[in-house]
Amino acid sequence: MPPLIALDETDSTSLHLKRLVLEGCPLGTVVTARRQTAGYGQRGRSWDSAPDAGLYMSILLPLPASAPTQLPFVLGLGCRDGLLAWTDEVGLKWVNDLVARRRKLGGLLVEVVKGGAIAGIGVNLATPDLPEAIGLNELTPTPPTLEALRDALLAGIHARLAAPFSFDAWSAASVTLGQRVRVETLEGVAEALGPNGELQVRRDDGTLMDVISGSVRLADGAYC
């Protein structure tokens, strides 16, 4: 079995795992922490990491050689599957957010490293003091322990990694598709995912634009 390293505190579980990769740790290694002092998400944004208020976890995974861009979508579906033990309200916001009740429950970030990819995952157990955030404490009368949440998400992720992938499954759980959205300066209706997971946005002039990265919000400025 690959090692599962549970820390009381670290700068970031992903940074800690990157250091372990340099030492030759095996694929499947998992790092969790009760608290992060420098947790981060997409575009280096800080991730609120109060002690025991959320699951802070990073996993070293093989990078799919044929379709590496699928990995964030597979991981999102796996996390959503794991959360079904406590709530069926979780949806997926392109490209890497877990949402419920139009607020952010969690997120993931995939970073390519030598020999694989590090998937950093954060899920709120308690609602942070942020207007667009939500915790599992609001979604279930019996929130899980950190260990139970960790095990459920890992089981969901590994099951999805072992199964054939289709963007249709992600699309069915999406809160983004079908919405009028804004991505940086681009505005239109999010119609579908492209073959590599790009977000296809139909502008008012009828042109279809492929978005490969960017912060997506509804056109009225709402988070989702």
How long, in residues, is the chain?
A: 224
> What is the per-residue pLDDT for 93?
98
Query: What would the two tokens of residue 10 be?
Result: 């670290």
Spatial contact of 98 and 92, defined as CB atoms under 8 Å apart: yes
Question: Is 224 part of a structural domain of the chain?
Answer: no
* Domains contained in the chain, number: 2
Question: Is 22 part of a structural domain of the chain?
Answer: yes
Give the ranges where 66-110 is alpha helix by DSSP (H). Answer: 71-83
> What is the per-residue pLDDT for 147?
96
Spatial contact of 8 and 37, defined as CB atoms under 8 Å apart: no
For residues 120 and 80, membership in a common domain is answered with yes
Question: Is 145 part of a structural domain of the chain?
Answer: yes
| Residue 83: partners with Cβ closer than 8 Å, 6 or more residues away | 90, 98, 105, 123, 136, 152, 153, 156
pLDDT band at 43 (very low <50, low <70, confident <90, very high): low
For residues 136 and 185, membership in a common domain is answered with no
Sheet strand arrangement including 4-10:
4-10, 30-36, 54-61, 116-124, 103-113, 97-100, 91-93
Query: What would the two tokens of residue 30 be?
Result: 């998992």
For residues 165 and 190, membership in a common domain is answered with no
Residue 4: CB atoms within 10 A of its CB come to: 15
Query: What would the two tokens of residue 168 be?
Result: 């249709």
For residues 131 and 206, membership in a common domain is answered with no
For residues 94 and 196, membership in a common domain is answered with no
For residues 71 and 152, membership in a common domain is answered with yes
* Distance between CA atoms of residues 176 and 188, nearest Å: 12
| Residue 139: partners with Cβ closer than 8 Å, 6 or more residues away | 86, 87, 89, 100, 101, 105
For residues 80 and 188, membership in a common domain is answered with no
Mean pLDDT, rounded, for 56-84:
93
Mean pLDDT, rounded, for 208-220:
95
Check which CATH number belongs to the domain holding 196 and give it: 2.30.30.100
For the stretch 116-147, what's the b/e string if a residue is b when 16 or more beta carbons lie within 10 angstroms of its beta carbon? bbbbbbbbbbbbbeeeebbbbebbeeebbebe
Q: For the ranges 51-55, 63-67, 102-106, 156-160, which has the lowest average pLDDT?
A: 63-67
> What is the per-residue pLDDT for 91?
98
**pTM given for the model:** 0.93
pLDDT band at 34 (very low <50, low <70, confident <90, very high): very high
Question: Is 223 part of a structural domain of the chain?
Answer: no
For residues 71 and 91, membership in a common domain is answered with yes
Give the ranges where 23-145 is alpha helix by DSSP (H). Answer: 71-83
Q: For the ranges 33-47, 80-94, 172-186, which has the lowest average pLDDT?
A: 33-47
Question: Is 189 part of a structural domain of the chain?
Answer: yes
For residues 104 and 51, membership in a common domain is answered with yes
> What is the per-residue pLDDT for 28?
96
pLDDT surpasses 80 at 55: yes
> What is the per-residue pLDDT for 15?
95
pLDDT band at 44 (very low <50, low <70, confident <90, very high): low
Angle between helices 146-162 and 71-83 in degrees, nearest 10: 130
pLDDT surpasses 80 at 65: no
Q: For the ranges 15-29, 63-77, 88-102, 157-171, which has the lowest average pLDDT?
A: 63-77
Q: Which domain holds residue 214?
A: 180-218
